[in-house]
Structure 1
Amino acid sequence: MRRTPLLATVAALVASALAWPADAAPTTFVHPGVTVSRGQLDFARSQVLAGAQPWKGAYDRMMASKYADQNRTPKPRAVVECGSYSNPNNGCTDEREDAIAAYTNALAWYVTRDARYARKSIQLMDAWSAVLKDHTNSNAPLQTGWAGSSWPKAAEIIKHTYDGGWPNSGRFATMLRDVYLPEIINGSNSNGNWELSMMEAAVGISVFLEDRTSYDRAMAKFRTRAAAYVYLASDGELPRTVPSQNLNTREKIVKYWQGQSTFVTGLTQETCRDLTHTGYGISAISHVAETSRIQGQDLYGTDVGERLRHALGFQAKYELGTAVPGWLCGGSLHLGLGPVTEVGHNALHNRLGHAMTNTEALTMRNRPSGSNNLFVAWETLTHGDNPA
């Protein structure tokens, strides 16, 4: 039987899925090992203490932020209710920002070795693990993914580098296992940034819990979604798809890609929506790739790295001001990619040697990068030109 281009694309997707390693999870997990490693933390710390730039400036920006405020009072609640576009917003911002604050204080602890910061991070994590039971309403999976991406980054640093004790670490682990993981592990058929953020959280939580089964499950979903989020010319006439979404005609695929019918390398499923949501997806891809590298499986040399490299470069070009051609999103783009380039730029350009002119220019323009107030924070400090 002669294959149509669409069937050929589906067949290629299945074949590549079967080629992915079945056991992505390491036999022994590396800690701290969610997005940032001990070696990376040590390098960042040494540069800050030496007053070197851009790390000292990045650290100063972090310490001047509201997230490092030692008078911060956590605002936990039993049920966080998040509707579409945070309406209603019952605890959504509080949860995300307390999680970022926990991570911020964990980083501050590591750099300064001042126990006050470790205790503040613990206070924030303990406050939420004492009361949180559920996330509800339409944005519950996304909210869980966003907050669930920051909590394990904080917890990994505190649990594995702070010797002052964390008596309630077991309760915190139970919260991640019972409240967060069930909400995100099955993925999402919404816009791609949802599932990518959810899998970022699931992978990070799995590392903290040392849960190899959940890690493998999350990584498999991540790789399928990453392949369906960023287009490469090698994919064929049409982008790859997630089988459960039943995008089995060109018409359905074009509609899902925000009406974009011309597919070029580096385009993402949400480019024509706006670059802000696109940045969420790109950031999650880079974070999962970084965690996977720390855990012993380097995805940067696979199609994941290729998609990340081209997605960064394509979006960065327009974020920097290149005129938008008429064939792309009707000739108009909504900019605002966000502080999401450091991790991918460091891994792909500095470590692997790929030329990334536009990504580098945007990275330099944004330094020192801050936080998007959702799940990205302080990546010039942790990953900017970091050789570890």
Structure 2
Amino acid sequence: MSRTSPHRHLDTPELSRRGLLKTAGGLTAALAVGGSATVLTGSTADAAPATFTHPGMLHNAGDINRAKVRVAAGNDPWLSGWRRLTANGRSQSTWTPRATATIIRGGDGQNYPQLYNDIHAAYQNALRWHVGGTRDNADCAVRILNAWSSTLTTITGNADRFLAAGLYGWQFANAAELMRGYAGFDLGRFQNMMRNVFYPLNNQFLTQHNGACITNYWANWDLCNVASVLAIGILCDDGAKYDQAVNYFKNGAGNGAIRKAVPFLHPDNLAQWQESGRDQGHTVMGMGQMGAICEMAWNQGEDLYGYDGNRFMRAAQYVAKYNLGETVPFTKYTWGTGVNCDYREHTVISDASRGQVRPVWAMLDSHYRRRRNLSVPYLQRIAQSVYPEGGGGDYGSTSGGYDQLGFGTLMYAK
């Protein structure tokens, strides 16, 4: 087994994304040159942008315009991604929301599937509006968003309520961001729902971890809540929340902080993911959660993708390589569980759910290989293996199939 240091820092200088944007004359100019210019500094910016960019979460104006132009021209792979979107039942403008005052995840009376189904319907209809220009889809997305913001007051259940607040928080905010400024969308009321229903649970989990030992919860629990805080910060132009999320990613106490989520660096540009000894379904889920954080921050001028010597890239390569059927090194991973930090260990990588398909890879391959022109052969291969990416409803009926918004082929191909 490899015994590489869990906290060794690479000497690779980091890309200051905000410095790049300033040098290139802002977001539009940076997009126009494909993000290929670089400004190397000793560290990334820590503060929220003085002015938030909108749309500026998973998709910026350049992403949307590229998909719109390429689909209209009938070019692949965008057209194949578009057909995957339009074939999904949640992207139909006839979708009827099922908003309710209380969402329960974990314990008795669970009803959270109606929330994630409606979120994915709102997101998919919003994409169809932006790429295809169909007003019926835009109106449908707004109906869903307005229905929930006028109805939802509580997210509850057992500890899984924190997963619901995290996962569905960042996803819902992304759907709303795409409809920002559309006639009839009550953005202010939606922002209030995100601040008052989702954020308190996100913050409670990140600061208290449900009263458990700090290492008890897997990386994904932290990551989905960090993603939600980040997305709410962007949606609400709230610099304090944005900074809270970025700072947790860099230096947080729990397993979602980058050096804890990626505890061991290995040779050959690989790095071990925290949940690798658990199973591959949750490991690949982590690629989607951390990827969403990095992409949203990137569109606001913060390079978390490249933070700490491309640490996340190395983990993504590691996870992709193993799930393509190849071998990877593994360092024994130990942690404490429960309230008293009872000792646990993983001594081998888990092959449970190995090769499970989730729509997380196109975005990562696009960033590292296309934007940054880095060699990521395993990311490239695994992205091609799931082409074209679908979204919620295309990967099974259980909640795991809705942990990512998907459609990366349509929105990130270059």
Q: Which TM-score band applies after superposition, normalised by the shorter structure?
A: 0.7 to 0.9
Q: For residues 349 and 88 of structure 1, do their structure 2 counterparts lie closer, same or farther at Cα, with a shift above 3 Å needed? A: farther
Hey, what's the Cα distance between the residues in 2 that align with 1:370 and 1:67? 11
State the secondary structure of the residue aligned to 2:103.
Answer: strand
Cα deviation for residue 78 of structure 1 reads: 1.1
Hey, what's the Cα distance between the residues in 1 that align with 2:103 and 2:43? 36
Aligned residue number for residue 206 of structure 1 = 233
Hey, what's the Cα distance between the residues in 1 that align with 2:178 and 2:331? 46
Q: Deviations over 1:12-55 (max 9, x none)?
A: 8xxxxxx9767431000000001110111101111111111111
Cα deviation for residue 384 of structure 1 reads: 2.3
Aligned residue number for residue 26 of structure 1 = 49
Question: Map of 1:309-328 to 2, 5 A cutoff?
Answer: 309-323=313-327
Note if contact 1:278-1:337 (Cα within 8 Å) is conserved in structure 2. no
Hey, what's the Cα distance between the residues in 1 that align with 2:365 and 2:169? 24
Aligned residue number for residue 16 of structure 1 = none
Hey, what's the Cα distance between the residues in 1 that align with 2:301 and 2:326? 38
Q: For residues 148 and 332 of structure 1, do their structure 2 counterparts lie closer, same or farther at Cα, with a shift above 3 Å needed? A: closer
Q: 2:75 aligns with which of 34, 52, 73?
A: 52
Hey, what's the Cα distance between the residues in 2 that align with 1:368 and 1:89? 36
Cα deviation for residue 337 of structure 1 reads: 5.3
Q: 2:294 aligns with which of 282, 289, 293?
A: 289
Give the number of equivalent residue pairs: 339
Cα deviation for residue 376 of structure 1 reads: 2.6
TM-score, scaled relative to structure 1: 0.81
Note if contact 1:308-1:344 (Cα within 8 Å) is conserved in structure 2. no
State the secondary structure of the residue aligned to 2:155.
Answer: strand
Cα RMSD (Å): 2.7
Structure 1 position 266 matched with structure 2 position 271: yes
Note if contact 2:90-2:124 (Cα within 8 Å) is conserved in structure 1. yes
Q: Deviations over 1:296-335 (max 9, x none)?
A: 12223322x7222111211111211225779885465121
Q: Deviations over 1:155-190 (max 9, x none)?
A: 111114x3xx12522111110111011110242441
The code of the aligned residue for 1:228 comes to K
Which of the pair is proportionally richer in helix?
1
The code of the aligned residue for 1:373 comes to Y
**Which 4+ stretches in 1 moved above 4 angstroms?**
8-12, 19-22, 323-329
Question: Map of 1:1-388 to 2, 5 A cutoff?
Answer: 23-83=46-106, 88=108, 90-137=110-157, 138-160=159-181, 162=182, 165-186=183-204, 187=206, 188=209, 189=214, 190-224=217-251, 225-233=257-265, 265-303=270-308, 306-323=310-327, 330=348, 332-334=350-352, 335=354, 336=356, 338-371=358-391, 372-385=401-414
Hey, what's the Cα distance between the residues in 2 that align with 1:56 and 1:89? 41
Hey, what's the Cα distance between the residues in 1 that align with 2:43 and 2:161? 30
TM-score, scaled relative to structure 2: 0.76
Hey, what's the Cα distance between the residues in 2 that align with 1:25 and 1:326? 37
State the secondary structure of the residue aligned to 2:363.
Answer: helix
Q: Deviations over 1:270-295 (max 9, x none)?
A: 01111111122221211111111111
The code of the aligned residue for 1:216 comes to D
Q: Percent identity?
A: 28
Hey, what's the Cα distance between the residues in 2 that align with 1:306 and 1:327? 20
